[in-house]
Chains A and B, each alone.
Chain A
Amino acid sequence: MADDDAPSDSSLLVIIVDTNPNQRYITEDPKVLTNCLDAVIAFANSHLMQKARNELAVIGCHFHKSEYLYPTPGKPLDVRQIDGQYELFTLVEKTIKMRLVNLIKSQPPEEKPGESLLAGAVAMALCFIAKFRREATPGLRITARILIVTGSSDTAAQYINYMNVFFTAQKQQVLIDVCSLDKHLSLLQQGCDITGGLYLKVPSLEGLLQYLLWVFLPETSERTKLVLPGRGRVDYRAACFCHRELLTIGYVCSVCLSVFCKFSPICTTCHTVFKIGGPLPIKPKKKKMKV
């Protein structure tokens, strides 16, 4: 955990799979979810194969709640060995599929699917990682990362939750990788940038497993040696608290740092009353500069 360049003894990967039925690729063809899930499971097993001490967790993010698909709380599933398949791999696949069916069955029938609450799933993952680190053998070098696989779009509604989980991940040295199956995700891309993870929007779902294996399988220490997709340009504009619109110039309350798109005499967040006479004057000498 301390040194990015030294290989770890054990690496924990938490995969968050967006299973929301309102993702465009699922509404177009529901069967594609199964294909994507198979790719994720194959990827998860490849991770376990890399090192004997590697660990895995998978969280399903549905529209009504998020749940661990693997491991099972309490006793692990009883799996009978299938010929030619490593027992653990069978366990992973069976558990994920069975628990996903339960998760989907538990969705309230009359509720319309809303946005996927990925920030909540990341919060769960961070708690799981914290537990893993607490329980690990002292002296073991541990790395942990989170991979989000989603075809949803991100909106400013989860903004605060996203920022809190991103900064917690940064503090705990957990990378957040994002694999977008459909749209460009500017908030999640900020999360990758803050935590040092990778962001990739896959051009087609066909080769999903290839993309996962090539881009997201190498752990931190190996990534510096590989040619991976660049960070690209990250949009760091702020959203105003009043209309949640992205701004290039805004007004910030100096007490609580809330962002507003126009001047108002009182901060609606912390109720500070500002001095009359408009925003604090910042008028330096007007110098002409050629840039």
Chain B
Amino acid sequence: MADDEQDTKEYRWETGYEKTWEAIKEDEDGLVEGLVAEFAQKAARKAVVPRRGPVRLGMMRHVLVAVDCSEAMNSQDLKPSRFLCTLKLLEKFIEEYFDQNPLSQLGLVLMKNKRAEKLTELSGNVRKHLKALQGLTDMALTGEPSLQNTLEFAGRVLKPLPAHASRELLVLFASLTTCDPGDINTTIQALKTEGIRCSVIGLAAEVRICKKLCQDTGGEYGVVLDDVHYRSLLLDSTSPPPRARALDAGLVKMGFPHSAPQTNQTDPGTNADPPITVCMCHLDDGEGVGGEGHLCPQCRSKYCSLPAQCRTCGLTLASAPHLARSYHHLFPVEPYEEVAYEGQAQYCFACLRNFTDIDKQVYRCGRCHEFYCWECESVVSTTLHVCPGCASRPHLYQRLPDSS
């Protein structure tokens, strides 16, 4: 089974013996509350740090994520169960994926009862994916998965897409067996010739066929040790694969379609119905006639969702927010300064929380000089990327580079 033993990663129970209780000391009043809060702060901040570093954005990726929904997902070696842990981590994965790959698409597939079932269409719509995931919590997990059927399904979905964008499949696989209708090796070879990259994250133990799949198609194979390791494996796969990166470093001509036909640009509400047109993305299915869509500014072909690659003239079509999703990487907020709390302010500027004795440290913005609580500092530096104080001051809010 295990071809190589180069893995030297420690298991949780192999890590150093930590005498965590020795760090707990009472304060002058014999209380430990302040210390507990400080520990919580430190732990929260530690969890945040590792995801920083040079960011490379991926342009056009198409990734299908297949989730094992077989009986093996019921196991509780991941808390609360393999399945629920997977759903929770997938939410984070989806957000991070679209942050790193703003013009990319994602689709979700369920491996249920020997079949591969589409949960969401390939699209750039984060909300739709998250909502679909949240609807899965109570699903019954039974039967066996079929890896081959999943691969066949992925092949069918990914094959028609333009080849210069990356086409990838990521399988989250808990079962140790797969129930396949034919020879899976033929399927793997077909994916290999198509250039579809398959990666697998195993939730139980190493499975030979998964390893072969990843090796042959140029993907990554990892087996989860615990939830922390699972999270890092998943988040690692949000950064674009080497081949997608090779397309980088160029200036790409891009179209930003108007949703309205350009002929009558009056009030948005009073537009007459657009003439009946067929959208190019659904041309093959015979669907997509009429209705609203986005017109390629170069050749007027219609697409029902963005981002897309125009099939007629080749222009990459996107909407401004698709690009803007990642702009915080370009204009990061200046980190706040950590200062010992000595009553400099009564409350946090952003959330109005009163500073109390528990706040040993508070955070100060070097530009707007407002004070923030540690929770808000973490919100600002990890998700918001806007300093609330600076963004509401006329001489501080601008962060666009000067046009010079």
Contacts and interface: CB of A to CB of B under 8 A. Distances in A.
Interface of A: 2-4, 61, 63-66, 68, 71, 73-74, 111, 114-115, 117, 119-121, 123-124, 126-128, 130-131, 134, 157-161, 163-168, 170-172, 184, 190, 194, 196, 232-239, 241-244, 247-260, 263-264, 267-270, 272, 274-275, 279-280, 282-284, 287, 289, 291
B324 A163 contact: yes
A161 B391 contact: yes
Given A165-B386, A167-B325, A257-B57, A120 B392 contact: yes
B277 interface: yes
Nearest to A134: B375
B249 A275 contact: yes
Main secondary structure of the interface of A (DSSP, over half): loop
Contacts of A63: 394
Contact of B399 (A68, A161, A255): A161
A248 B257 CA distance: 6
Nearest to B391: A120
Contacts of A270: 330
Main secondary structure of the interface of B (DSSP, over half): loop
Contacts of B260: 233
Q: How large is the interface on B (under 10, 10 to 19, 20 to 34, 35 or more residues)?
A: 35 or more
A256 B323 CA distance: 9
B350 A128 contact: yes
A190, A269, A282, most chain B CB atoms within 10 A: A282
B291 interface: no
A242 B258 contact: no
Top 9 closest pairs, chain A to chain B, by CB = A120-B392, A120-B391, A236-B319, A127-B350, A163-B324, A238-B320, A131-B351, A123-B388, A248-B297
Contacts of A233: 259-260, 268, 271
A127 B391 contact: no
Contacts of B352: 68, 71, 73, 128, 131
Interface stretch (B25-33, B126-134, B196-204, B335-343): B126-134
B179 interface: no
Contacts, number: 249
B350 A257 contact: no
A116 to B, nearest CB: 9
Contacts of B392: 61, 65-66, 117, 120-121, 123-124
Contact of B248 (A123, A237, A255, A287): A255
A194 B321 contact: yes
Nearest to A234: B259
Interface stretch (B106-114, B182-190, B298-306): B298-306
Interface in B232-256: 247-256
B300 A291 contact: yes
B375 to A, nearest CB: 6
A284 B316 CA distance: 12
A249 to B, nearest CB: 5
